[in-house]
A and B are shown apart, each in its own frame.
Chain A
Amino acid sequence: MEQEIADLTARLAALEEGAGWANTINMEVYYWWCTALMFCIHAGFLAYEMGASRKKNVLASGIKNILALAFMIPTFFFFGWWIYLAFPNGLIPDFEAGAYGIPWSDAMGPNLADNETGIFWAAFALFGATTASIFSGAVIERIRLSAFLILAIVLGSVAWILAASWAWHGDGWLLTQWGWHDFGAAGAVHMVAGFFALGVLINLGPRIGRFNEDGTVNALAPHNLPFAIFGLMLIIVGFFGFLAGCIIYAGDGQWTTIFGNPATLSAVAFNTLMCFSGGIISAWLVTRDPFWMMSGALAGIFSAAPGLDLYWPPMSFLLGAVGGAIAPLADKWLQKFRIDDAVGAVSVHGVAGFWGLLAFGLFASGYPNVAEGAPDTNLLGQMIGAGAMFLVGFVPGYAISWVMNAIGALRIPEKAELLGMDKAKVPVSAYPEGFWDEFPGGKVPAATPAE
């Protein structure tokens, strides 16, 4: 009998150990595929941005987009993860908490005692790269590549992750002091990126020919609208990875949000699809333009993003519909101030993200928070958080681009802009077999010589 009990005890211990490992490995696998799916966002932004460019700038836009991703990743390793861990209390760093994110920490590399850090770092790096891609589309066809790269690093490896430390962290001050809730990062990702772009656009100025002296607007049509629309749909695919990465897989119980409250992927599935649809339908009714219909899908998702874990699906549908309608209208309104946002990033991400946060405060107040001392969800908390997100995005974007503009390092020369950035500095041609014959300024060689 004693031997049987000892055998059963040993088998139970083995089973528990096996189950523990299954949880750990499942968690790693889950976030691995979230990160992989998030690469679709970048494939989508690449297609979207190149399609939205005129043909004289298509490769330069592609290079800019690809390099944003490439420079974001190492800089996020150098200091981005440390910022996330060190700043949940505000602007004073917590060096003890941040120690796990410094690059030479044992956690920041292969470590058999740590299955989490790398996989979360990767997902957050991709979230950061998403902010850089959002910004990238707004400034196409006239920004210097080097200026863009510095601004993209500031946005993706500093500004957004500081905002995430405040607004997307279990100990973030917006949660613990104000009861903030933003499941899908409408604030930390979309508002920050959208208003960072606005700050840069003010200093960068519009593309040549975009506005007439009387304030009327000229359409600088995308050279390949179907490609841009396809890119937008691919971004939506990637957002399923993004939103899946917004939920915490514990393995030994119910899913939770980053804020600690229980949640289900089922809720996120209901609501994501409903707000996606609402955004498309309303943008179609307002514009009849497929570019804005797909942008409306994105705006619809960001409009409901803060409460994707909580909303009733018809509410998500209606919030998405409002977002899909206001995004193109906001873009038109910005044009009155000669803001040339080539892809509508400020309105789709910034304005719709703000609407999402406001709507959550209006319609989803009173949910209990589980973080110690945190008040229930409330409108004031959402508004304070939205204000913080605006400032974290707009201020560095405006200030740094203002300095760059003052020293002549922000914008390409007029001659290069008129000729096209591809011809000016890209050693290969996007369309060597005939597209150049319509090149502005007359006849140019069919193939661009190497540098």
Chain B
Amino acid sequence: MGSPITSWDGAEAYFTGAGGASPALLLILSVIATFAAIWYGAKHETHSYERLELE
């Protein structure tokens, strides 16, 4: 994590963690968060409709 560069001279990819393992971790977390949000939304949706059927 953190800066992959120590100087701007000759710098190319300079995003946090470039060249290391941390971008992979952040990517995995982002993918999980995206699809978990859909899963959670589906669960809430089902709950809402089931509750409506009981009313």
A110 within 8 A of B: yes
**Complex Cα–Cα for A83 and B13 (A):** 22
**Complex Cα–Cα for A355 and B42 (A):** 38
Binary contact readout A383-420 vs B (1 if CB under 8 angstroms, 0 otherwise) = 00000000000000000000000000100110110010
**Complex Cα–Cα for A111 and B5 (A):** 12
- 8 A Cβ contacts from A37-91 to B: 71, 74-75, 78
Tell me, rounded to whole Å, the shortest Cβ–Cβ distance linking A139 to chain B: 15
Tell me, rounded to whole Å, the shortest Cβ–Cβ distance linking B43 to chain A: 9
Binary contact readout B1-24 vs A (1 if CB under 8 angstroms, 0 otherwise) = 000000010011111001000011
Instruction: Contact check, B49 vs A413: say whether CB atoms are below 8 A apart.
Output: yes
- 8 A Cβ contacts from B10-55 to A: 11-15, 18, 23-24, 27, 30-31, 34, 37-39, 41-42, 44-45, 48-49, 52-53
A104 within 8 A of B: yes
In the complex, 13 of the A-B residue pairs with CB atoms within 8 angstroms, ordered by the A residue number, are: A71-B37, A74-B30, A78-B30, A103-B27, A109-B23, A145-B42, A145-B45, A149-B38, A150-B38, A415-B49, A416-B48, A416-B49, A425-B48
Instruction: Contact check, A78 vs B38: say whether CB atoms are below 8 A apart.
Output: no
Tell me, rounded to whole Å, the shortest Cβ–Cβ distance linking B26 to chain A: 10
Contacts of B18 in A (CB 8 A): 106, 109
Contacts of A416 in B (CB 8 A): 48-49, 52
Tell me, rounded to whole Å, the shortest Cβ–Cβ distance linking A431 to chain B: 20
Instruction: Contact check, A419 vs B14: say whether CB atoms are below 8 A apart.
Output: no
Instruction: Contact check, B52 vs A146: say whether CB atoms are below 8 A apart.
Output: no
Instruction: Contact check, B53 vs A112: say whether CB atoms are below 8 A apart.
Output: no
Give the B-binding residues of A (Cβ under 8 A).
Answer: 71, 74-75, 78, 103-104, 106-107, 109-114, 144-146, 149-150, 409, 412-413, 415-416, 419, 424-425, 451
Contacts of A78 in B (CB 8 A): 27, 30-31, 34
Additional A-B contacts beyond A145-B41, A145-B45 (5; CB < 8 A)? A71-B37, A104-B23, A107-B13, A412-B49, A413-B53
**Complex Cα–Cα for A450 and B13 (A):** 46
Contacts of A144 in B (CB 8 A): 42, 45
Partner of B42, one of A146, A415, A419: A146
Partner of B13, one of A111, A412, A415: A111
**Complex Cα–Cα for A346 and B48 (A):** 31
Contacts of A415 in B (CB 8 A): 49, 52-53
Tell me, rounded to whole Å, the shortest Cβ–Cβ distance linking A162 to chain B: 20
Contacts of A103 in B (CB 8 A): 23, 27
Instruction: Contact check, A75 vs B15: say whether CB atoms are below 8 A apart.
Output: no
Contacts of A412 in B (CB 8 A): 49
**Complex Cα–Cα for A242 and B49 (A):** 39
Give the nearest-CB partner of A63 in chain B.
B41
Tell me, rounded to whole Å, the shortest Cβ–Cβ distance linking A121 to chain B: 14
**Complex Cα–Cα for A424 and B24 (A):** 39
**Complex Cα–Cα for A200 and B42 (A):** 19
Report if A146-B38 is in contact (Cβ < 8 Å); known contacts: A113-B12, A424-B48.
yes
Tell me, rounded to whole Å, the shortest Cβ–Cβ distance linking A199 to chain B: 20
Instruction: Contact check, A424 vs B52: say whether CB atoms are below 8 A apart.
Output: yes
**Complex Cα–Cα for A231 and B37 (A):** 29
**Complex Cα–Cα for A415 and B44 (A):** 17
**Complex Cα–Cα for A74 and B26 (A):** 13
Give the nearest-CB partner of A150 in chain B.
B38
**Complex Cα–Cα for A297 and B26 (A):** 44
Partner of A75, one of B34, B41, B44, B52: B34
Give the nearest-CB partner of A73 in chain B.
B34
Contacts of B12 in A (CB 8 A): 106, 111-114
**Complex Cα–Cα for A412 and B45 (A):** 9
**Complex Cα–Cα for A113 and B38 (A):** 36
**Complex Cα–Cα for A74 and B37 (A):** 12
Tell me, rounded to whole Å, the shortest Cβ–Cβ distance linking B46 to chain A: 8
